[in-house]
Chains A and B, each alone.
Chain A
Amino acid sequence: KNQVEQSPQSLIILEGKNCTLQCNYTVSPFSNLRWYKQDTGRGPVSLTIMTFSENTKSNGRYTATLDADTKQSSLHITASQLSDSASYICVVSREAAGNKLTFGGGTRVLVKP
């Protein structure tokens, strides 16, 4: 079954600290892996997209890594800010069939001052 599992479900960090979110997937055949940020009451917004051949990709203070062999990805947030408080969703796209997206359950991050 095509699945995307994320951990932890939630975490609380202090402003200025770093954190790492995990994503494991079993989706096959793999096309790409995306990380989205979803603020409360809004739609998800893309942070990064990585294909099979990419190991790391950065977007400002967000750095995503991908190990296609172990089917694992991580999202690292550096020097967290209060505005980073949101849900972060790992999404894996399957080849063909309109690149249908399989969503993880998300990690809810709360940054405290």
Chain B
Amino acid sequence: DAGITQSPRHKVTETGTPVTLRCHQTENHRYMYWYRQDPGHGLRLIHYSYGVKDTDKGEVSDGYSVSRSKTEDFLLTLESATSSQTSVYFCATGGQGENTEAFFGQGTRLTVV
């Protein structure tokens, strides 16, 4: 799994509560990404980072924020969880260059009740 660890792997939370998912990498990759995967939609980009403290929005960023204070850690925060954010979340990392492979974590299954 190329040294990418997501935590927690499973979480159930109540609507309106804040939630933070963590992605930790040991590959020293510059780029890190957060995706969500839902039936019928494939993987969709939430936010990505191209360096420490450098982040940008993806196609489904509403309701999510991210932070990257160190190369190895990329945090995804749901400020106030909603049922529509029930999903499987994947972190990915990649180096720079057009042929650089993107490595994915094992995923976090989040259920908002």
Tell me how many residue pairs across A and B have CB atoms closer than 8 Å.
58
Compute how far the CA of A111 lies from the CA of B48 in the bound complex, rounded to whole angstroms.
35
- Asked whether A99 lies within 8 Å of B94 as measured between CB atoms, the reply is yes
Q: How far is the CB of A76 from chain B (nearest CB, A)?
A: 21
Q: How far is the CB of A81 from chain B (nearest CB, A)?
A: 22
Contact with B along A57-75 (1 / 0, CB 8 A): 0000000000000000000
Q: What size tier do the contact residues of chain B reach?
A: 20 to 34
The residues of B with any CB-CB pair to A shorter than 8 Å are 1, 4, 31, 33, 35, 40-45, 48, 50, 56, 58, 90, 92, 94, 98-107
User: Number of A interface residues, CB 8 Å?
Assistant: 24
- Say whether, besides A89-B42, A99-B31, A46 and B101 are in contact (CB < 8 Å): yes
- Asked whether A32 lies within 8 Å of B58 as measured between CB atoms, the reply is no
| Chain A residue with the shortest CB-CB distance to B33 | A101
Compute how far the CA of A41 lies from the CA of B43 in the bound complex, rounded to whole angstroms.
14
Q: In the complex, which residues of chain B have a beta carbon less than 8 angstroms from the beta carbon of A95? A: 98
- Asked whether B42 lies within 8 Å of A42 as measured between CB atoms, the reply is no
- Say whether, besides A89-B43, A98-B48, A100-B48, A45 and B98 are in contact (CB < 8 Å): no
Q: In the complex, which residues of chain B have a beta carbon less than 8 angstroms from the beta carbon of A93? A: 98
- For chain A, residues 64 to 113, give those with C-beta under 8 angstroms from any C-beta of chain B: 89, 91, 93, 95, 97-101, 103-106
